[in-house]
Structure 1
Amino acid sequence: MTDYQKRAKNVLTKINELAAISDDPTCVNRTFGTTAFQQGSRLIQTWMQGIGLQTRVDAIGNVRGRFVSPIAGAKTFVIASHMDTVVNAGKFDGPMGVLMGLDLIENLIRSGETLPFTLELIAFSDEEGVRFHTTYLGSKVVAGSFDTSLLDRKDESGTSLGDLIQSMGGVLSQLVNDAVKSDDWLGYFEIHIEQGPVLYERNVPMALVTAIAGQKRVEITFTGMAGHAGTVPMDMRQDALCAAAEFILEVERFGFINTHNLVATVGKLNVVNAASNVIPGEVVCSLDVRSHDVAALEAAYQSIQTVCANICAERSISFHWNLVQETAPVACDPAMNELLAQSITESHYDVIRLVSGAGHDGVPISQVSPIAMLFVRCFKGISHNPLEDVDLSDMAATLRVADTFMNHIIELETSRNGATRRFETFGKLANR
């Protein structure tokens, strides 16, 4: 009988070892392309090699390990998550999914079973988008949807993405060749912490994800007139910060009114040339709107832009509205979710279905493959924070469910035409 508690301890040991690699000794910090990021990448590759995978680091910096099926024409099933972090991060967001995937594949290899498909474990290089303010760099390369115009984008130090890739040893012309071919995809599976409080409040160790919310990210610049705080009368001011403040409160109000189907957040605020005795003349803020309903997302985006325009008109403030990123809502594959729900039930846990408000690498992958995700309970739903934590017992429970899920996939694929065809019941995306 499998000792899931022991396997979970081994996973946690690796999580802690990886978390000790950081650009900041006071916290977990491995943003894309940094010294710590590359050191962590090498460690993950070593672990992959240790269980017998054929490994490589592709042009964008994804660490990839393959266990190749001996069956001619076998498809590829990808297990993945990301290895980069936000600044001052927790240690589970991303790496836990990579290292649980490592454990799952190691267990399958040890079983000695002939797999009807090739397994590929991927540690994606940049899901968070911290450095270049664009997400899913690694998974877009694997999905074949990477936008080469991004190579000119620069970080705050002035380093372009293209220059960074080359400094890490990547070859820019190879990016297009690092995609899994569209005809080779069988499916995609990711384990990730929930990053929300639902499982914690319901005291349930895991949930299957039904969809990933779409999102729109905007940068808004409010421009008024800077002036002396002591000499310009209150009724003659064009205070950009006051306009931004009113806008921020209106965004919150809009979110509360529409809480059933969206969330709206202003998370960044920059007062340009700020001083205590100067009326703010220019303020830049962010806007993040998310929903699993594409119509609600678009309506919210338009409504909030109108609110911004009205506030600025009333205050004689000009504004620049810049849509910096948008992704459509993504549905997880119904047939894969049926197998995942069956696996949860067979492991004697309640089946909880959740929509992910956070974005994941499954978003670009969903354009070329059926996807499935399993959420794991995290302490009080805290994430992107050093307090991020997962109970060992929940990790063990998740490994049990994931083992069962993978065995069902193997059984199903083996039963189809001598293990040479893809899942016929998996979504239409797999066949286009």
Structure 2
Amino acid sequence: MENFIARAEKTLARIHELAAISEDADGVTRTFGTPAFLRGSALVQSWFEQAGLRTRLDSIGNVRGRLVSQHPGAKTFVIASHIDTVVNAGRFDGPLGVLLGLDLLESLRARNVELPFHVELIAFSDEEGVRFHTTYLGSKVVAGSFDQSLLTKTDAAGISLTDAIHTMGGNAATLAADAIPADQWLGYFEAHIEQGPVLWERNIPVALVTAIAGQRRVELTFKGMAGHAGTVPMHMRQDALAGTAEFVLAVEQFGVERNTALVATVGKLDVRHAASNVIAGEVTCSLDLRSADADELQTAYEALYAQADAIATRRQLSLHWNLIQQTAPVTCDAGLNQHLTRAIADSGYPAVELVSGAGHDAVPVSFVAPATMLFVRCFKGISHNPLENAELPDIAAAIQVSEQFMLNLIAAN
């Protein structure tokens, strides 16, 4: 274990060095295509090159490094995560998986392990979707599922995705060429902090991810009639904020009643022309639904639409309901999961199985290749927050398990 601790220390030092590159001084913010993101990307690329990987930057800004097999017709096994962040993020969400992968490839190369397949390490450029309100830009390009219509989307400054790609040195016209063809994939592995409290509370360093929850994201607007707070009688009001508040509580109650099957969240509220002495005439809010069960997700979507519509009708409000994003639930590959489960057990840890409520780059990849994931314990399950932390012994355990997984996979092929 002493060797894995030393390797974890090196990985942790890299995580801290990357975290020092940020758009702001107080936290960690590296959104897709910004100067801070480009500096971070260049640092990661330099580490790939120093490790002796065949390194390149593709057109969407993914940093890609390969260990090449000498076997004719070898397929490609991908190890990956992302290096973009949310605003005011933590250090570990994404970079842990990339830099743990770098350690694995350095170890395989140093030991002259004969590879029956190519291994490609990828630092995806955009998983969080902060700048253009999209997710998985980097991994969708690699999986060959990038939606060309996204190129016209603009950020808050009016810059299109096409222009952002060109500013980064990429070429939007060549994105399709950066995909790994479906028949050339062997599989996909991603290590990631849990972003939940289960491993922390059970004091277990790692877990197998069996599935990734599907998501529905909705933007909905209630419209009523703005009016003077002091002159419109209560029974004559068309208060959009009161209607929205009723919907927020209905969402919470719906989620509580189905706690084991799904989670439901309203995380954003926009009161148009808000003032303390004005009855709100228009309010927009978000709805985030997540479940590993596709039928449960559809049922929740329909039921909450019906509740929103009923609230609007009863309160004489209009309702605009806009589905802005949906992803199907993903079940991780049984074969790769067997290798990973055995690696966990061989490393001396209990084989805990978890479903991920958060989305990951494994989602788009899973539609073209077998995918598996390893969760790593994080402090109190806190994520998307500067308090996010993975401790040295847990990183060492993740390196140990991941290396055993790779050796199992190499032996099986």
TM-score of the pair, normalised by structure 2: 0.99
The answer to whether 1:398 aligns with 2:398 is yes
The match for 1:310 is: 310
The match for 1:301 is: 301
Partners of 2:222 and 2:121 lie apart in 1 by 45
The match for 2:44 is: 44
Structure 2 letter corresponding to 1:168: M
Unaligned runs of 5+ in 1: 414-432
The match for 1:137 is: 137
The match for 2:186 is: 186
**Cα deviation 1:333-355 (Å, max 9, x = unaligned):** 00110111111111110000000
Partners of 2:64 and 2:277 lie apart in 1 by 54
The match for 2:173 is: 173
Partners of 1:410 and 1:342 lie apart in 2 by 14
Superposition pairs of residues 27-426 of structure 1, within 5 angstroms: 27-413=27-413
**Cα deviation 1:45-93 (Å, max 9, x = unaligned):** 0000000011111111111111111111111000000000000100000
Partners of 2:236 and 2:131 lie apart in 1 by 40
**Cα deviation 1:308-341 (Å, max 9, x = unaligned):** 0000111111011000000000000001101111
Partners of 2:333 and 2:194 lie apart in 1 by 19
Unaligned runs of 5+ in 2: none
Partners of 1:169 and 1:391 lie apart in 2 by 36
Structure 2 letter corresponding to 1:399: I
Partners of 1:33 and 1:273 lie apart in 2 by 33
Partners of 1:343 and 1:164 lie apart in 2 by 41
Partners of 2:180 and 2:235 lie apart in 1 by 61
Helix, strand or coil: the match of 1:3?
Answer: helix
What's the offset of the Cα at 1:2? 6.6
Partners of 1:232 and 1:166 lie apart in 2 by 54
What's the offset of the Cα at 1:132? 1.1
**Cα deviation 1:343-377 (Å, max 9, x = unaligned):** 11111100000000000000000011000100000
**Cα deviation 1:204-251 (Å, max 9, x = unaligned):** 000000000001000001111111112211111111111111000000
Structure 1 letter corresponding to 2:304: I
Partners of 2:321 and 2:284 lie apart in 1 by 10
Partners of 2:148 and 2:372 lie apart in 1 by 28
**Cα deviation 1:378-428 (Å, max 9, x = unaligned):** 000000011000110000011111110000000011xxxxxxxxxxxxxxx
Partners of 2:68 and 2:277 lie apart in 1 by 66
Helix, strand or coil: the match of 1:363?
Answer: helix
What's the offset of the Cα at 1:151? 0.6
Helix, strand or coil: the match of 1:283?
Answer: strand
Partners of 2:405 and 2:136 lie apart in 1 by 26
Partners of 2:121 and 2:74 lie apart in 1 by 16
Q: Sequence identity of aligned pairs in percent?
A: 62
TM-score of the pair, normalised by structure 1: 0.95
Partners of 1:276 and 1:326 lie apart in 2 by 36
Partners of 1:2 and 1:256 lie apart in 2 by 45
Structure 2 letter corresponding to 1:378: C
Partners of 1:410 and 1:18 lie apart in 2 by 30
Partners of 2:340 and 2:115 lie apart in 1 by 19
Partners of 1:46 and 1:135 lie apart in 2 by 26
Helix, strand or coil: the match of 1:78?
Answer: strand
Helix, strand or coil: the match of 1:188?
Answer: strand
Partners of 2:14 and 2:279 lie apart in 1 by 51
**Cα deviation 1:90-132 (Å, max 9, x = unaligned):** 0000001000000001000000122111110000011111111
Helix, strand or coil: the match of 2:285?
Answer: strand
Helix, strand or coil: the match of 1:32?
Answer: coil
Partners of 2:93 and 2:354 lie apart in 1 by 17
Partners of 2:122 and 2:235 lie apart in 1 by 59
Partners of 1:64 and 1:48 lie apart in 2 by 8
Partners of 1:280 and 1:41 lie apart in 2 by 45
Structure 2 letter corresponding to 1:213: A
Partners of 1:273 and 1:57 lie apart in 2 by 45
Partners of 2:346 and 2:104 lie apart in 1 by 18
Structure 1 residues 2 and 202: CA distance shift in structure 2, 3 A: closer
**Coordinate RMSD, CA, aligned:** 0.8
Structure 2 letter corresponding to 1:100: L
Helix, strand or coil: the match of 1:195?
Answer: coil
Partners of 1:88 and 1:132 lie apart in 2 by 17
Partners of 2:39 and 2:227 lie apart in 1 by 49
Helix, strand or coil: the match of 2:274?
Answer: coil
What's the offset of the Cα at 1:277? 1.3
User: Please, which moves more after superposition, 198-207 or 229-238?
Assistant: 229-238
What's the offset of the Cα at 1:156? 1.4
What's the offset of the Cα at 1:183? 1.2
Partners of 2:30 and 2:260 lie apart in 1 by 35
Partners of 1:160 and 1:234 lie apart in 2 by 46
Partners of 1:288 and 1:134 lie apart in 2 by 15
Runs of 4+ in 1 over 2 A off after TM superposition: none
Partners of 1:231 and 1:19 lie apart in 2 by 54
Partners of 1:143 and 1:180 lie apart in 2 by 6
**Cα deviation 1:169-210 (Å, max 9, x = unaligned):** 111111011000111100100000000001011110000000
